[in-house]
Chains A and B, each alone.
Chain A
């Protein structure tokens, strides 16, 4: 069991993890940006470290700052919560290299699941059920029309990149297909 973990997230996500740690008797370290100085997660954790200015790219998403905070507070592990660095394979690798346990999947698994088409292929190959859909990436409008006709409406378009809900479009009828395809594409870029 861990003695002390750092929660690399904020607000209710961090609180949820901190409360679970309290139940388990694990000490917690909160990190926060200057904008979240008065947030509840900062007060509830046993220790708190300010890791940057309000922009999350310079604080919660800034890997060196988060790792440094973990090092100066001497934690065994980092819990990323969800969002932010939780699906960042590189962060999981840096944790490993810094000899801090990343509470989450191995970097290879994060990478695999981040690429939607590869994830689908691997899951199918493992014999797990998947929702019916195209076999691999749909290339171009012609193939799209064919696949849409085969699957039938309503259907959902999902960009292979994207993430965080971007690049996903529900299509209810054929007339909307091409427009949805274009917006899904541009959104995921």
Chain B
């Protein structure tokens, strides 16, 4: 991954303007930079283009140029959070999944929603789950491992497509727990 700091662009950043950001993007293009970071006192600019590297887990792919311009130093560390720390859902998803219980993959393997290609999936969105009921299969080394629900409630989200590879700790299902406990 290329990561260089450009020093020649200097004092003009006192009030960042769209034009200047555009200039920067051109600069990145010219020099084939994937990432650009500039900070001086409490100003911090970070630009990143979609990386050519491919992460295995679908949701962590960086899909759009990311522009972070933060005025206060306090906001900077948050903005600097590493993109690699991304098994967590994207910010947009986070809001809708806040109250959900996430069932995460306990193993690395291939995710299957049904016991065989021709049969019905174990669960669909809106299926009501009891703890211990089978949610899906994760195949690892040709072994079909049934993944059971560790929560009782309604399946609200299914994060992974049938047949996709999953890694350890990757969210598979979002379950809205029933409140009767």
In the assembly, what is the distance between CA of A73 and CA of B164, in Å? 11
Q: Are A64 and B169 in contact (CB under 8 A)?
A: no
Which of B55, B84, B107, B108 touches A38 (beta carbons < 8 Å)? Answer: B84
What's the nearest-Cβ distance from chain A to residue B154, in Å?
A: 28
Q: Are B109 and A42 in contact (CB under 8 A)?
A: no
Question: B27: CB under 8 A from chain A?
Answer: no
Which of A45, A50, A64 touches B167 (beta carbons < 8 Å)? Answer: A50
Map CB proximity to B onto A51-72 as digits: 1 under 8 Å, 0 otherwise.
1110000010000110111011
In the assembly, what is the distance between CA of A49 and CA of B56, in Å? 7
Give the number of residue pairs across the A-B interface with Cβ within 8 Å. 71
Map CB proximity to B onto A65-106 as digits: 1 under 8 Å, 0 otherwise.
101110111000000000000000000000000100000000
What's the nearest-Cβ distance from chain A to residue B51, in Å?
A: 10
Residues from chain A with Cβ under 8 Å of B108 in the complex: 49-51, 65, 68-69, 72
What's the nearest-Cβ distance from chain B to residue A4, in Å?
A: 11
Q: Are A48 and B1 in contact (CB under 8 A)?
A: no
Map CB proximity to A onto B130-142 as digits: 1 under 8 Å, 0 otherwise.
0000000000110
Take A51-B108, A64-B141, A68-B108 as given contacts and tell me if A37 and B56 are in contact as well, using a CB distance cutoff of 8 Å.
no
Q: Are B1 and A72 in contact (CB under 8 A)?
A: no
Q: Which residues of chain B from 44 to 80 have any CB-CB distance to chain A below 8 Å in the complex?
A: 53-56
Take A46-B54, A47-B56 as given contacts and tell me if A72 and B109 are in contact as well, using a CB distance cutoff of 8 Å.
yes
In the assembly, what is the distance between CA of A83 and CA of B17, in Å? 52
How many residues of chain A get a CB closer than 8 Å to chain B's CBs?
25
Which of B1, B82, B140, B169 touches A34 (beta carbons < 8 Å)? Answer: B169
What's the nearest-Cβ distance from chain B to residue A154, in Å?
A: 47
How many residues of chain B get a CB closer than 8 Å to chain A's CBs?
21
Q: Are B169 and A72 in contact (CB under 8 A)?
A: no
Q: Are A65 and B54 in contact (CB under 8 A)?
A: no
In the assembly, what is the distance between CA of A98 and CA of B141, in Å? 8
Which of A38, A50, A73 touches B170 (beta carbons < 8 Å)? Answer: A50
Residues from chain B with Cβ under 8 Å of A71 in the complex: 109-110, 140-141
Q: Are A73 and B165 in contact (CB under 8 A)?
A: yes
Which of B56, B107, B140, B141 touches A73 (beta carbons < 8 Å)? Answer: B56
**In chain A, what residue has the closest Cβ to B106?**
A52
- From A43, A45, A67, residue with most partner B Cβ within 10 Å: A43
Q: Are A64 and B140 in contact (CB under 8 A)?
A: yes
B contacts, CB < 8 Å to A: 1, 53-56, 82, 84-85, 87, 107-110, 140-141, 165-170
A contacts, CB < 8 Å to B: 34, 37-38, 42-53, 59, 64-65, 67-69, 71-73, 98
Query: Can you list 5 A-B pairs with a CB-CB distance of less than 8 A?
Result: A37-B87, A44-B1, A47-B54, A68-B107, A72-B56
